[in-house]
Amino acid sequence: MSVRAIVVMVCLVTILPGVGAAQSIGVGVKGGVSLADVPNFADGVDAASDVLDRRIGYAVGGFVALGLGNGFSIQPEALYTQKGMGASAPGGTASTEFELKADYVDVPLLARFTFGKGLRGYVFAGPSLNFLISAKAKSGSSEDGPETDVSEDMESFEAALVLGGGIEVGPLLVEARWSEGLTNILADAVSPAGPELKTRTLLVLGGIRF
């Protein structure tokens, strides 16, 4: 069974019982900064690139909290998240610099535990179904250089694992999370037998619950 199928099954098993057992339902919005890269990029392409940079972008979206009691809840989310990376070979010449901008709609299905009163802490973890919206690549050192649409060279779906935690006071929250890609982002036709490229993203988010 593929990683994609396993993640979808886990998501369904997680969220469907939670909807029926929910003791309370809340909604909210959140947004913040995303720091993304593709750590094994140099292994996945025939290039000498070994200096990798994170893409600094943003993430924004909303969530639904299904309270189960005793601090536990199920929290489906939808976040528009900017991912990607930069790479350059030693010397940083124009011909050896590369940038990938990949934008996704991430749909994490999180199990969350909240503790404390007043200033509350929480931790969460769960799978994420990520859907590619656009992907563009650029070579060269000029910021004004042309970008090429590479959406067809990438998989339209990515499975990931999300871990994180945060604090909240009243309706306000601040959190940090780590998203580790589990599946290859390159289409099979582009890299049928080559190394798999997987994303990883650190997000620092603020939000409000209504």
pLDDT value of residue 203 = 98
pLDDT value of residue 24 = 81
- Token couple for 97: 């610099």
pLDDT value of residue 142 = 58
CA 27/CA 158 separation, integer angstroms: 25
Regions of the chain with pLDDT less than 50: 47-49, 92, 94
- Structure confidence by residue, pLDDT tens digits, 58-105: 999 999 999 888 999 999 999 999 999 887 765 545 456 788 899 999
Domain that residue 13 falls in: 3-209
Domain of 187, CATH number, reads: 2.40.160.20
Mention every residue, 6+ apart, whose C-beta is less than 8 A from residue 77: 30, 61, 62, 63, 64, 106, 107, 108, 109, 110
Torsion, CA 21, CA 203, CA 128, CA 52, rounded to 10: -170
Place of tokens 């930069």: 86
pLDDT value of residue 191 = 61
Q: How many domains does the chain have?
A: 1
CA 63/CA 22 separation, integer angstroms: 15
pLDDT value of residue 3 = 55
